[in-house]
Structure 1
Amino acid sequence: MWTDIRPEVEMPRLFERGGDVISFAGGLPDLDVLPLETISAQLSRLVRLGGKLALQYTTPHVAGALVPAINDLMAREGTTAGADRLVPTGGSQMGLMAVGLGIAAPGETVLVQTPAYPGAAAAFRTAGLTLHPAPEDADGLDAAALRETVLRLRAAGRTVRLLYCNPTFQNPTGATLSVARRHELLAAARELDLLLIEDNPYGLLSFDGETTTALHALDPDRVIYLGTFSKVFAPGLRCGWIAAPEQLARTLRRTTEIMSLSPSALAQAALAAFHTRAGWSDLLDAYRTSYKERCALMADALEAELGTDGPWQWERPGGGFYIWLRHRDGVDTTRFAEAAAEHGVSYVPGSHFGIDGEHADGLRLCFSNVARGRIAEGVTRLAAALSAPVPALRGAA
């Protein structure tokens, strides 16, 4: 059976809520900023006037009306893609699965920037790929060490053609790879004949409105770019895209057609209609303002509750959804999860972001969807759990 030849893959439970729990776990956007009345009127008009098309099957292509909306977003990071290079997806998670199934072959090794988005690791493993951490230093992905790693793996008989990264406001660390490092990384990729998978859900969510040039902008023939409307509009539409070299786009289009038969014509039409009438700037500004405020509230509360010279260390991100805490003594943060639950707060332990047991000393806090008035309270609860004596792991001798 299919499930017998692939390892069991489990995703962290990010979106479960209950009782009085303050959840810092799931990366949910703040949909309070959406102009729901405007969207409702646009959807009503769309269904009334074009429902027979919008509610029907469609082809595995990005709708022509949506291409300008996608390119408006991508251009803000210095890049664009023609319709022949675009592939529609049900969000970037589907894009990750499509790349794993359509571009790689079972048994191949994919290099992964770590700590890694758990959905990427799960997708690649489900596709039958072997994961290996991409080498990094204090400034991010290390091109020189990458050369050594790839040559060593290939000398050992492993096929290495793909490198996955989330270079802007990375999930979970919030870090952004500098443009200089991006150039170095692409130079190494060209030398090693690697394809880069650029996963970019958060790139437009900088708190100051500034953007970083996308890897895809620097070498569109070397980069498979994964975009999504989940973080810049709403995840419920399940709509995203892949921008890839034309030949790879054809392969990925066939793969996504097998996966879903048809993208959502309704979702694509709704997004295109919104962009035509309103553009993206106002909505992006509203999201940025919301996340900047929430991040500041969480970071200030962490400093007040945990201090800056204790066992926990973190950095304030410049955008995105997350703050990444690490224990200076390397304690596995899974040990605090039960105490956190007893205090009515949740987080994601760092072990979920490793690919071979690493990063267990970290934990991810998401500030994007927590009510402003409860962020400080949630950090107080978290601090109480983290300040308790370090409990033993369940099942430990």
Structure 2
Amino acid sequence: MWTDMRPAVEMPRLFERGGDTVSFAGGLPDLDVLPLDAIARQMSGLVRLGGRIALQYSTPHVAQALVPAIGDLMGREGACPAAADLVPTSGSQMGLMAAGLALAEPGETVLVQTPVYPGAAAAFRTAGLRLRAIPRDARGLAPEGLRETILQLRREGRTARLAYCNPTFQNPTGATLPADRRRELLAVAGELDLTVIEDNPYGLLGFDGQTTDSLKALAPDRVVYLGTFSKVFAPGLRCGWIAAPREQAAALRRTTEVMALSPSPLAQAAIAAFHARSGWTELIDRYRAAYRERCALMADALERELGDGGPWTWRRPQGGFYLWLRHRDGLDTGPLAAVAAGHGVSFVPGSHFRIDGGPSDALRLCFSHVPRDRVAVGVSRLATALRGGAA
């Protein structure tokens, strides 16, 4: 049985904090921007007036009241999903697991964008799938490399019909796939009958307010889109969705029903009520401003501490949560995590984002949740650890 042969899967410890440590590890949103008093009043009213529904089991469908909130978000990147094609999840992580179980068979290969989000790798492996990297070049995912890889796998007698990517402000690199590359990638997917799984938690969090059309907008019948309210509202509600072509939506709905029985009516109702009263624009603008400021604080501090031609290189991201450092000489960053912890700062080594478990010359820093007055402190500690570890 494949369940006896699958490899052990472990997620990095991203959300553990304590003491005086400055955490650049977990991708937590900045909930200081939320209007908590207004949300508390809305949730109180939901429980008081409709608690017998909001606290009961539900059906495995997105509540009608929530559909406009999803349509508003996806429409900002050009997509227009039908309500019947939406499947509720408890966030993108559940969507990844559901996609791996519903859209492929154990032993098949899924092509993944690398470095890869560890939660995606863990979900696909838990579903019994094999991972293969999508080739890339200086502009990101390489469509011709994808074509060649798929054809080679098929010549070897292996089934490969899924490709996974996080094309906008990618976790962990912060990179965005250019519009022309998106079209080329989707053309290859159409030619080879691939389903593309688009994971898009950060697409609306560009610092300048600009957006790029999602893959779902460009090829709605080819793309299974994973959406979440965790980064544009709040992760504690554990609420997200899948927007899929009709036939795949049915399979995904059956799978999510087995996984969770029903979505949370209270979470769906709370988000729908917030959107109906306030919309998304003001809140998303506040998130963008908070992350733009924190990113600048981190990048400026890195320039002061590690710039001037040193061995560490990085690019300032234009959105999202993350900054990706690499060592020019290929130093393994894995052992540096313990050194950094001793200096009171944490990060995620690049090895967590590899699919082969090997060493990496990179590390991921998350700026989204660090208190403003602690960013420079954390970078100073990090620089001390990196200089000492690289000596």
Whether these two folds match at TM > 0.5 is: yes
Distance 2:192 2:240 in 1: 29
Q: Distance in 1 between matches of 2:81 and 2:194?
A: 20
Please show how residues 96-135 of structure 1 align to structure 2 within 5 Å: 96-135=96-135
Structure 2 unaligned regions, length at least 5: none
**Cα-to-partner distance string for 1:97-144 (whole Å, 9 max, x where unaligned):** 000011110000000000000000000000000000001101001111
Gapped regions of structure 1 (runs ≥ 5): 392-397
Residues 243-288 of structure 1, C-alpha deviations (whole Å, 9 max, x = no match) = 0000100110000000000000000000000000000000000000
Q: Which residue does the alignment assign to 1:325?
A: 325
CA contact (8 A) 2:195 2:223 kept: yes
Contact 1:335 1:390 in 2 (8 A): no
- Tell me how far apart the structure 1 counterparts of residues 386 and 306 of structure 2 sit (CA, whole Å): 9
The total of aligned residue pairs comes to 391
Amino acid at match of 1:120: A
Does the CA contact (< 8 Å) of 1:353 and 1:359 recur in 2?
no
Is the partner of 1:227 in helix, strand or coil? strand
Aligned to 1:223: 223
Q: Find the residue that maps to 1:17 and give its secondary structure.
A: coil
Task: State the shift of 1:357 in Å.
Answer: 3.5
The answer for the alignment partner of 2:146 in structure 1 is 146
User: 1:24, 1:4 → 2: CA distance?
Assistant: 36
Query: Are the equivalent residues in 2 in contact too, given 1:324–1:365 (CA < 8 A)?
Result: yes
Taking structure 1 as reference, are residues 70 and 51 closer, same or farther at Cα in structure 2, changes over 3 Å only? same
Q: Distance in 1 between matches of 2:302 and 2:156?
A: 45
- 2:196 is aligned to 196
Stretches (4+) displaced over 4 A: none
Match of 1:261 in 2: 261
Distance 1:94 1:43, change over 3 A: same
The alignment status of 1:338 with 2:338, answered yes or no, reads: yes
* Deviation sequence 1:66-125 (CA, Å, 0-9, x none): 000000000000012111100000000000000001111000000000000000000000
> Residue 302 and residue 129 in structure 1: after superposition, are their counterparts in 2 closer, same or farther (change >3 A)?
same
Q: TM-score, normalised by structure 2?
A: 0.99
Question: 1:237 and 1:379 mapped to 2: Cα distance?
Answer: 31
Structure 2 counterpart SS, 1:357: coil
Structure 2 equivalent of residue 375 of structure 1: 375
Distance in structure 1 (CA, Å) of the matches to 2:76 and 2:362 = 32
Distance 1:276 1:11 in 2: 36
Q: Describe how 1:153-192 pairs up with structure 2 within 5 A.
A: 153-192=153-192
Q: Compute the TM-score of the two structures, normalised by the length of structure 1.
A: 0.97
Cα RMSD, aligned residues only:
1.1
The alpha carbon displacement at 1:2 in A equals 7.5
Q: In the aligned structure 2, how far is the partner of 1:389 from the partner of 1:121?
A: 29
2: CA distance between counterparts of 1:203 and 1:58? 29
Q: Does 1:74 align with 2:103?
A: no
Could you report, residue by residue, the CA deviation over 1:149-202 in whole angstroms, capped at 9, with x for unpaired residues? Answer: 111111111101000000000000000001100000000111111110000000
Q: Distance in 2 between matches of 1:389 and 1:281?
A: 44
Asked whether the 8 Å contact 2:339–2:389 carries over to 1, the reply is no
Letter in 2 for 1:75: G
| Amino-acid identity (%) | 72
Shift of residue 360, structure 1, vs aligned partner: 1.0
Is residue 57–residue 262 contact of structure 1 (8 Å, CA) maintained in 2? yes
